[in-house]
Chain A
Amino acid sequence: MKFEYLRHVELPYFDGNNHWSICPYTGSLLKGNSEKNANHIKIPRKVSMAIEYCNQPYLCKVNNEIKISQGSFKIFAKINRMHNRLLKISNSRFYTTRLYSSMKNLLFENTSEAIICINSLPPQVELKHQLCLQRAFLAAKISKSFTKEGVIFIGAFLPTGDMHAWIIENGAQPDFDDRGWVNYRPLLAFYH
């Protein structure tokens, strides 16, 4: 197991009245009057390219084929254990989730394959829309290609406080089953 710290970059947004951001340590959505100077934030090229795909979803590579998980039972059980661990950590211990995801356990060549397997886990089947954080951070943990090409975004559907986590990797949204990610404005990105 290799430790590769998931770095972050904040993407604060001003909607004309309020400044919105997400705390990279607690994962909380912050709304305030004080401005975070977005001009001073250096956004790595990989992240800025991924933001472009978020802003223009029709630029993303087409990923609409229904795919069935090809993982063996052994791998499936292992991923299920890791997923359960993330569920125990829970959303409230956001930084621990981030650290756990940084402890790499590379089982899949790319994130799309990893997500197909994660999506077939019972809790994800049952509560797919509520478990986006666990899905994204687990995919980052077990996918080889994520390290090179992937970016996790956490965004908010403004002005509601609804939040979502998703990945953009190599110009595609690897979760073919996630149609709602386009509703969320990216406010925080994680990458290697």
Chain B
Amino acid sequence: MIISNPTRNYLYFNRKNNQILYNLYDLINIDLIRTASLKAHEKNISHFFSRPDQYQEVFSGISLIPPRSRWNYDGNNFRCLNVNIVSSNYKSQISELLNISERLSSVIDNKKIAIELSGGLDTAIVIGIVKHLGFDPFLVGMRSSRYELRTESFIQAKYAESFKNVCLLNADDSLPFSNLKSSPLHQHPSSSSLYYMHALRIAEECERENVNTILSGMGFDALLCESVNKTETNAMPNNWYTWMLDDNWFRENIYSKYNMNYTSGAASQLIIKSIWALRKTQNEDLKKWWARNAFKEYLPTELVNYSYKADNSGGFLDGFLNSRNEISEIYNVAYEITKFKEFEKSELKALYANAHIVDENKDKLILSRVSFANWIFGLVRENIIS
């Protein structure tokens, strides 16, 4: 059967009765939660899988259908049906990319645009191209006083001098895990929920500026770093869909409530194909030297000449440590509901005991468990379950 999601939100497919659910809340009850797989949620976070052909079912028989995607379900497996009908005869010239960007920008001609200002290369490329097209975007970001983020802060300050409308909020006010007990109710567990304060603060600022569309730099890492030579990634423009960008949670649960569209500057097959054509036969380019050189006219010189890589895990750790009381409360509620061993006090204590260790797996464990508990807490808070 064909499963299509034309909406901008996730839909859910129940394999047991072949039904599409627009609202998972109707299905959620204590039994569903108690039989949910926290391990599957952990795996989905580790592998960044939200596409139904690779997604591990957290609730038995329930698959997530990403926004604006189409699938064939044969009773066992999902197969993506989205087809890119973009011609591959791209000129490998920056001018071609600019022409495409100009054509795409016509849909936002009369709208007020904001761009996330992180101080890194990816958003700087988006800012540079949008400015080149004659827009005067509102730049909004989080300024951090953290030592490891001083290169980002430097670039942000540089933009603040050269753009008319720039807002830099205090990053310490919206660290990951902050204010979790008030996080928006959401249908399925998602690690993005732990970062909601960042998006909320940006949405509030953008509302003040009457912004309609917010552009981010999401997805550029893959576009600018991955090898074009590898056979398996060679078909990237044909196999890489804009719904794979991990911005759906924020759009659905934060920005839509402010009537704003939140999307990546790379959220177009045309742009993806164009950049891929420009990079032609390149190998992996982790430092993004090609992009720094190709877009140098549109970038601050520091981002052209240096490839420093700032690490955001300090903020993650501080956020986790600062929110211990709130996370403990959320864990208690999750334990009361599920009786899962993973939500026992001793398990949380162990997570905190090892919090300082630099280890990606430990971070993913924190992300999956806290986000699962946070999801349950929201359901209890809103009396979806009791």
Size bracket of the B interface: 20 to 34
Determine the residue in chain A with the shortest Cβ distance to B309: A179
Given A157-B314, A162-B358, A182-B148: A57 touches B308 (CB 8 Å cut-off): yes
A23: chain B residues within 8 A (beta carbon): none
Q: Are B308 and A160 touching (Cβ within 8 A)?
A: no
Given A159-B317, A160-B314, A160-B358: A58 touches B307 (CB 8 Å cut-off): no
Q: Are B357 and A182 touching (Cβ within 8 A)?
A: no
Contact mask for chain A residues 146-181; partner B; CB cutoff 8 A; 1 contact, 0 none: 000000000001111110000000000000000110
A157: chain B residues within 8 A (beta carbon): 148, 311, 313-314, 358
A33 within 8 A of B: no
Given A58-B306, A157-B148, A162-B358: A179 touches B287 (CB 8 Å cut-off): yes
Minimum C-beta distance from B309 to chain A (A): 4
B318 within 8 A of A: yes
A183 within 8 A of B: yes
A92: chain B residues within 8 A (beta carbon): none
Contact mask for chain A residues 37-70; partner B; CB cutoff 8 A; 1 contact, 0 none: 0000000000000000001111010101000000
Minimum C-beta distance from A94 to chain B (A): 20
Determine the residue in chain A with the shortest Cβ distance to B155: A58
State A56–B147 Cα separation when bound (angstroms): 10
Q: Are B358 and A180 touching (Cβ within 8 A)?
A: no
The main secondary structure of chain B at its interface with chain A is: helix
- Specify which of A58, A160, A179, A180 is in contact with B302 (CB 8 Å cutoff): A58
Size bracket of the A interface: 10 to 19
Q: Are B306 and A161 touching (Cβ within 8 A)?
A: no
Given A58-B302, A182-B148: A160 touches B313 (CB 8 Å cut-off): yes
- Specify which of A58, A62, A160, A179 is in contact with B154 (CB 8 Å cutoff): A58
Q: Are A185 and B306 touching (Cβ within 8 A)?
A: no
Q: Are B306 and A62 touching (Cβ within 8 A)?
A: yes
B230: chain A residues within 8 A (beta carbon): none
State A140–B74 Cα separation when bound (angstroms): 64
- Interface positions of B from 131 to 187, Cβ below 8 Å from A: 147-148, 150-151, 154
B289 within 8 A of A: yes
Q: Give 19 CB contacts A-B under 8 Å.
A: A57-B150, A57-B151, A58-B302, A58-B306, A64-B287, A64-B305, A64-B306, A157-B314, A158-B314, A159-B317, A160-B314, A160-B357, A161-B357, A179-B307, A179-B309, A182-B309, A183-B309, A184-B148, A185-B147
3 tightest Cβ-Cβ pairs between the two chains A and B? A183-B148, A179-B309, A162-B358
